[in-house]
Structure 1
């Protein structure tokens, strides 16, 4: 499993949130859309600038996220520009730096993207969040078979890092990163194009449950 280089705080309007059993709505103009199975942390006690030792005490429990992604929209919303920076050799000068920018609002945050569920399991029921088998299935076929022990960063590190920039509030959720290890039969989540294939996608995490959502074309 490969977690993100920086933790991802998931924030969406409540009207667009989807839970277990509810449909994921996709449209042809989205292009390709694939699932991303992720362990998700639910904050119980708010706080800011938490140390790694303090961070676990602010976690209420865990749930599952299917962090749906459209690479097509990501490509459309990624662009090159020339950024203006101070010139390190001239305190009064500037320099131009070629940069790339990507806006995730559409390709990660379209309506019904990011289903959560089926429930929250409290920390006392999950002795070690870094020893959980995680699978992603499409129409019953196992696509991903991974383990949270492969996360790049620990829950404590991610919660602490996030709190350095965002004051955490009870009920906040933080996605830990996508499980990418292919199943024994091969395949990859990037090949499961839900716009083309439809069907039902499931994410199962040991000790937490199964998040299942049908796909609807609109």
Structure 2
């Protein structure tokens, strides 16, 4: 299934993208696509209602804003330097363990929303990432196989970063990762059963029509299930949490002349099977 949230910020309505390309209303199943919905068997109920033909069309869906496909994630956990080519372009050694940092959940916005360049920013950068949405509580998981059972689905995630804030202003990365609007997510939550091989997905990103990133999730140092199992040894992952699993080479930080983002720039990004995003950047 492909689940989507449509409508103005704070008033989004939930739906399923049907095989006919139309959006079917989940209002009779849930008030929102959030942690409680995922934890309470919401995906199974939504699938059953859709397959039984019980869902009405979502009126006016074509003209609605597309929101992030999961509401109010409790946390956004990120993995840094998780692609070999990205570590190499930044001059970093390959990490022996996952590099973990947190991102303010309030950064999560819709896939086509405007993204704000922070005041006093000089090095705002792009990062296309495979986002994972947790569907089942994960605590001290015994293996990557057990971790797979905790995945609700996947989404395109844009881990926007301010490199000066991230690398120069603090020994931790959070300052450069948690600026407002810095995590567009979506357009869909694509359920795990539809992505048969999450370690073979092509990730692409363009800035103003120029290709900057073109990678594949098979090049991750730590695979998705490994990351979830690892994190569960140190924190409890709850339904609705989002994990950003790293970015391939091609970020501004690693390019000649460091072509960082400026107001008016447009970024387009996509992942196989998960759809695409497009954002225009503006000054905060």
Band of TM-score, shorter chain: 0.7 to 0.9
> Does the C-alpha gap of structure 1 residues 119 and 191 become closer, same or farther in structure 2, counting only changes over 3 Å?
farther
TM-superposed deviation, 1:142:
1.0
Structure having the higher strand fraction is 1
Report deviation, 1:200: 1.0
Partners of 2:133 and 2:206 in 1: CA distance: 24
Aligned to 1:17: 108
Give the distance between the partners of 2:243 and 2:135, measured in 1 at CA: 12
* 2:240 match: secondary structure: coil
* 3-state secondary structure, aligned to 1:103: coil
1:39 aligns with 2:130: yes
For 2:105 and 2:245, how far apart are their aligned partners in 1?
Answer: 20
2:150 to 46, 58, 81: 58
Q: How does 1:134-213 map to 2 (within 5 A)?
A: 134-180=203-249, 188=255, 191-195=258-262, 198-213=264-279
The normalised TM-score by structure 2 is: 0.61
Q: What are structure 2's unaligned runs of at least 5 residues?
A: 1-82, 87-94
Query: Alpha-carbon deviation of 1:190?
Result: 8.6
1:181 Cα deviation from its structure 2 partner? 5.3
Aligned length, in residue pairs: 189
- d(CA) in 2 for partners of 1:11, 1:54: 25
Distance 1:13 1:19 in 2: 13
Which protein, 1 or 2, shows the higher relative CO under an 8 Å CA cutoff with sep ≥ 6? 1
Residue of structure 2 in register with 1:89 after alignment: none
- 1:106 to partner: Cα distance: 1.7
Query: Which residue is 1:87 aligned to?
Result: none
Aligned match for 1:6, one of 98, 105, 109: 98
Q: How far off its partner does 1:76 sit?
A: 3.1
Q: How far does residue 189 in structure 1 lie from its aligned partner after superposition?
A: 9.8
Separation of aligned partners in 1, 2:169 and 2:257: 18
CA contact (8 A) 1:37 1:203 kept: yes
Give unmatched runs, 5+ long, in structure 1. 79-101
Match of 1:69 in 2: 161
CA contact (8 A) 2:102 2:174 kept: no
- Assess if the C-alpha contact under 8 Å between 1:7 and 1:161 holds in 2: no
User: Structure 2 residue aligned with 1:111, among 173, 180, 187?
Assistant: 180
Counterpart in the other structure of 1:97: none
